[in-house]
Amino acid sequence: MIRPELLIPAGDIEKMRYAFAFGADAVYLGIPRFSLRSRENGFKNFEQVAMAVHYAHNLGKKIYVTANVFPHNHKLASFNTYIAQLLALCQPDAWIMSDPGLIMLMREYFPGQVIHISVQSNVINHASVRFWQNNGAKRIVVSREISIEEIKQMHEACPEVELESFVHGAVCMAYSGRCLISNYLSNRDGNQGACANSCRWKYKIYQKEGRAAYEPLEGQFYLKESERPGQLFELDEDENGSYLMNSKDLCAIHLLGQLRDAGVCSFKVEGRSKSVYYVAMTTRAYRRAIDDMAAGKPFNPELMQEILSTSNRGFIDGFLRGDPGGNGQEYLMSNSQYSSYRYTGIVRQYDALKKRLKVEARNSIKVGANYELCLPQKNIFIQVKELFNEKGSPINELHGGSLAGWISYPDDPGPFVLMREPITSL
């Protein structure tokens, strides 16, 4: 029985290092000019990408590079030079691509390169899988908008093509990449890597003078589209507004066995722009779930607690078990509001002489409060007894925003340690 790969987003070098330390088999990252998520991309030049590729290969892990924009003509001219410059420095294990033209250029000018078809290409049937196979693809990242049964049918029809499936993270309210809300509202093109996540913004319904934009009916508000007079759309709105298009996040950690049996060889997590804490906790939970599955153990529901410790919009299992319908939306919650823990800092070093941990604070850390240190294999509960600023003077609170300080602590916990605080109000 195969053990599918765990594929984690690497928004920058640090996130990549944590992803591998917490159990990733492979990571994916973007190149600045031809990748989506271009604004939040921590890899700014070829040297940084090459450094990441060498780091992964030294660990015996894999690294895939995304070049999944849909470029306009003016961007095409630089493509060959750009790819050649990167290949002179390193050899990624595969390229994640969407645009048929770029894929053709890659095959013509760099024939040895491995191509994975991005989720942006919306592959939702086995004929499309065959099409991309005939056009040089080794692997397909299947569309998020299909069921496990449909994935199984793809695998049965094209068993020699690798199938990769997203199992976790944010989802679009449209077919991935087929949305122009961000272009319209902020002139930022989602298909050029500049999406402003406009579907998650807060919208309000206002009444224009002399023309009702909404109609109250038995205490409930309804939205009406001008061409459909008899059809009312129920609208929930509280004092914070209404999140009309805010999709819940995908979480399929409990479905990994079914996905593997359907033929999925790579489980992919979304979130190149999310925090190192999200990367570490999500990786660790999925690593344990995959290892349990490979050992023939049932899914451990306690792993959901780890998943819920990262910020989220509420979870659904996407379309994997059918259309989620209205349950797929979170109408009354701002972006990423839920979490059972607050990410408070990243441990940078241990001073063995003074027995202190150096922490770079992401949120406030206070004397007397309880925290957890999150390591790749375990969590350690601590109470902060003494706190010092970076120069070593005692303080009562270290404010967030990447300020560094010292916490007294008896032993060196080792590398890759993050700090978090339980949110007691939940």
Distance CA 398, CA 316 (A): 36
Q: Least distance from C-beta 191 to ligand SF4, angstroms?
A: 8
Coil, helix or strand at residue 174:
coil
Q: Least distance from C-beta 274 to ligand SF4, angstroms?
A: 13
DSSP 316: E
Residue type at position 266:
S
Tokens found for residue 406: 């010292």
Coil, helix or strand at residue 119:
helix
Q: Least distance from C-beta 86 to ligand SF4, angstroms?
A: 26
Distance CA 253, CA 264 (A): 14
Q: Give one word for 145, left, alpha or beta, with left for phi > 0 and alpha for psi -120 to 50.
A: alpha
Q: What are phi and psi of 157, to 5 degrees?
A: -75, -30
Distance CA 54, CA 48 (A): 10
67 touches 35 (CB < 8 A): yes
Q: ∠ CA 6-95-74 to the nearest 5 degrees?
A: 140
Nearer to ligand SF4, 6 or 195 (CB): 195
Nearer to ligand SF4, 36 or 407 (CB): 36
Nearer to ligand SF4, 199 or 374 (CB): 199
Nearer to ligand SF4, 12 or 249 (CB): 249
Q: Least distance from C-beta 190 to ligand SF4, angstroms?
A: 4
Q: Least distance from C-beta 250 to ligand SF4, angstroms?
A: 13
Nearer to ligand SF4, 144 or 260 (CB): 144
Q: Least distance from C-beta 334 to ligand SF4, angstroms?
A: 15
Which element (helix H / strand E) includes 177? none
120 touches 191 (CB < 8 A): yes
Q: Least distance from C-beta 243 to ligand SF4, angstroms?
A: 12
Nearer to ligand SF4, 68 or 113 (CB): 68
Nearer to ligand SF4, 7 or 195 (CB): 195
Report CA-CA distances (Å) from 160 to 71, 156, 399. 30, 9, 54
Nearer to ligand SF4, 174 or 232 (CB): 174
Distance CA 149, CA 10 (A): 30
Q: Least distance from C-beta 174 to ligand SF4, angstroms?
A: 5
Distance CA 37, CA 46 (A): 17
Q: Least distance from C-beta 194 to ligand SF4, angstroms?
A: 9
Distance CA 167, CA 268 (A): 6
Q: Least distance from C-beta 15 to ligand SF4, angstroms?
A: 20
Place of tokens 């410790």: 309
DSSP 225: -
Nearer to ligand SF4, 177 or 345 (CB): 177
Which element (helix H / strand E) includes 421? strand 418-422
Short-list 286, 276, 281, 274, CA closest to 16: 276
Distance CA 347, CA 357 (A): 7
Nearer to ligand SF4, 189 or 292 (CB): 189
| Residues at the interface with ligand SF4 (CB under 6 A) | 172-174, 179, 181-182, 190, 195, 197-199
